[in-house]
Amino acid sequence: EAGVAQSPRYKIIEKRQSVAFWCNPISGHATLYWYQQILGQGPKLLIQFQNNGVVDDSQLPKDRFSAERLKGVDSTLKIQPAKLEDSAVYLCASSSGPSVNEQFFGPGTRLTVL
Amino acid sequence: GIQVEQSPPDLILQEGANSTLRCNFSDSVNNLQWFHQNPWGQLINLFYIPSGTKQNGRLSATTVATERYSLLYISSSQTTDSGVYFCAVEAASGTYKYIFGTGTRLKVLA
């Protein structure tokens, strides 16, 4: 069974530029999560989707971050415009059920904002 | 919200040694997972263990939900065990999201 796929693996941009990350969850997993992990800290949830609906986006900086999961499968996370403090690893995870159940993580995208 | 603390924050072991990592949480939980983050940043599932005891090879975990803690045991440690270990919990109040602990950074020396 294929795991959670993410791309790109690395991205370097200048501040005020835009960037987008892509995630494809494990086949059949209804719930998809985006996390931000700043160096030295644990992952922090940005947004959670159940199928193509948003369950929780309370910690998503909506003035600059957006995410969508149009067909209930893959998802994109966008930052526009990027700030220096957005430098982090962006992790995508998926789980099978509407509650948390067991989460499986992708390899992450390491973003550096210069 | 629920608080999750892990101890020790850092641990250095010689290869072959055993260790116990602890995760304390401040409220009742519905779900709990242990992860290993390897030096390349990948978060690898170790255990999904909201209660009880599980074992997988050299690793085992125990969650005592009524006393609000979980333990991860690593026996006969290897250099490949190095990395950061996180526990993550979902509060029983039904937030449907994980809160990650502070992590334990483990280094195993050859």
- Separation CA A48–CA A60 (nearest Å): 10
- Separation CA A41–CA A28 (nearest Å): 30
Count of the separate structural domains present in chain A: 1
Convert the pLDDT of each residue in A16-55 to its tens digit. Answer: 999 999 999 999 999 999 999 999 899 999 999 998 899 8
Please determine, for residue A1, whether its predicted confidence score (pLDDT) is greater than 80. Answer: no
State the CATH number of the domain containing residue B66: 2.60.40.10
pLDDT at B86: 97
Beta-bridged to residue A64, according to DSSP, are none
Residue among B65, B99, B100, B83 at smallest CA distance from B74: B83
- Separation CA B28–CA B41 (nearest Å): 29
Contact A94, A31 (CB under 8 A): yes
User: Containing domain of residue B39, as a range?
Assistant: 4-109
Chain A residue numbers touching B88 (CB-CB < 8 A): 42-43, 103
Contacts A–B by Cβ distance under 8 A: 59
Count of the separate structural domains present in chain B: 1
Chain B residue numbers touching A102 (CB-CB < 8 A): 31, 33, 45, 48
Chain A residues 47-66 within an 8 A CB cutoff of chain B: 48, 55-56
Determine the average pLDDT of the residues in B15-41. 94
Q: Does B97 touch chain A (CB under 8 A)?
A: yes
User: Containing domain of residue A22, as a range?
Assistant: 5-113
